[in-house]
Structure formats: structure tokens, C-alpha cells
Amino acid sequence: MGYPDQRFNVNLSILFTELPLLERPAAAAAAGFTAVELWWPWIETPTPIRAELDALKKALDDAGTQLVGLNFYAGQLPGPDRGALSVPGAESDRFRENIEVAADFAASVGCTALNALYGNRVEGVDPQVQDALALENLVLAARAADRVGAILLVETLNKPESPLYPLVSAPAAIEVVDKVNAATGLGNAKFLLDLYHLSMNGEDLSQVIKAYAAKTGHVQIADNPGRGAPGTGSLPLERLLDELKDAGYTGWVGLEYKPGDRSSAESFDWLPASARAAG
């Protein structure tokens, strides 16, 4: 497998998790990568103390790795939570507390993409109430992202693994993207196109790429079944990434897969070393 024309980054919240957080940027660099992304690293708090933010910035800087994507606070992730912004009460309050903190940290490390996971449906709460809250919070997030020169990402997950998450199709996420852009007038809300999640939903991936590449701000990949490295399942990822390129997508491709029974460093044998350092 060649992948010569892609810009790959490593998600340090699913790869290199055998190491403490602050050691992961250096490990990614040692594996040949120059760009990384992260889920919100502090799952217990949307507002970590300054020393923790500074320590992560230093780890990224010392490793020479560029943070190209960061999640806003999303609750217990990995775990049962799938975001916070549409969950009434304490969780959406935490999301709001996190917005400027995450945006300011992104600005401090030159990160230009902030991902806002929508949040699960809550039993006993009208879905329309959750959707109105979600739009309100996404507008705030989009404005904060714009303030620091970043885009806001809206992600589709998959129904088998996230049955309470309402955005389980590409059109559903695109509808939210369009609503946020209409509400803000900024045009900085984009689709996070995750080929693994979309394949788990049974979508026609080539058709999704053709329809939505122009609204895509970030791409993530893992093979299916198993959410492993490319080549461990049956997805034609090389062809699909070529289709994205042909459709005009020139952004980052995040490696968001599980390394399986190997170390994270060993799981990159599908990708030539020459293709790992993004220019």
C-alpha cells in the first residue's frame, strides 16, 4: 500500500495509549510522524489547571509535532459518553466552560481544527430540545474557533457502537453543519468524514465522498471490521483516499485505529516511513 499523496496524522487518544499522555508526542515523532490530534485529554474536567495545559504544549513542542486537531470536552471518552453539547444540565454547562479554554489552547499550539461531538440522546428529554441546545452551543463553539483561526468539525459516529448518538449518517451531520453556518454566517463549520464510522453505518463511501468532499474539514480512518490499521479489514482505504483527493480534498487524514495486539509503533507497518512526515 502506497498512500504517497496524503497528509497523515496520528490520534494520540487511541494510539500510543500504552504511554502516559506527555510521552505520546515524542513516541509519534520517533515513529516518523510530524502531526498529531487528540480527543480532549482531561476527561474529568473541561478546565484543567494552567500547568497541565503548559505541560502538554511543551511535550508537543519538544517532540516537534504539530497538533492539527483537538476535541472540545466530550465527557467520558472513551466510554459511554459521546459528547456533551446537546446534553441538558451539567454536561452542556461543562462544554460551555470548555469552549474558550480549548480554543485558546488550540491557538497556543497552532491547531486549526476543533471537533465538537454532538452528544447522546437523553431518556425523557425531547429531541427537539436537545437539538436546539446543540445548535446554540455549536454556534458558540464556531465563533470561538473563528476567533483563533480554526474550523469547527461536526462528526458522524456509528449506530452499532453509539446507539444513542443521533448523527449516524453523513447527511445528518451535514444538516447540522449547514445550520451552524447559516446561524453564524462564518462558514467555518465543516464535516469530519470518518470512513470507519460511515462504513459501520452501511453508507456508500464513494457517494459520500462525491457528495460532501467540499464540506469536509478533516478525515479519519480505520479499517472495518475491527477498527484496526489499514489492511487488517476489508475497506479499500487507499482507493477511497484517492477518491477524496480527486474530489479536491487536500486536508489531514487522521489515523484513529486500534493497534490490536501489537505496540502502536509496530502498527504502522502498512505506511512507508517516507509517507509519515507531512510537509
Residue type at 214 in one-letter notation: A
Phi, psi of 139 (to 5 degrees): -60, -45
203 assigned to active site: no
Name the grid cell of 16: 500510543
Residue 89: what are its φ and ψ, rounded to 5°?
100, -140
Residue identified by cell 482505504 is 237
Alpha helices, H only, 186-236: 195-200, 205-212
CB-side neighbour CA atoms (13 Å) of 137: 31
- Write the DSSP symbol of residue 19: S
Q: Is 256 a catalytic residue?
A: yes
Catalytic choice (37, 91, 155, 203): 155
Rounded to 5°, angle at Cα 254 from 151 and 198: 90
Torsion sign (Cα): 100, 105, 108, 111: negative
Asked if residues 200 and 224 have their Cβ atoms less than 8 Å apart, the reply is: yes
Among candidate residues 37, 91, 203, 256, the one labeled active-site is 256
**Which of helix, strand or coil describes residue 101?**
helix
> What are the catalytic residues?
155, 256
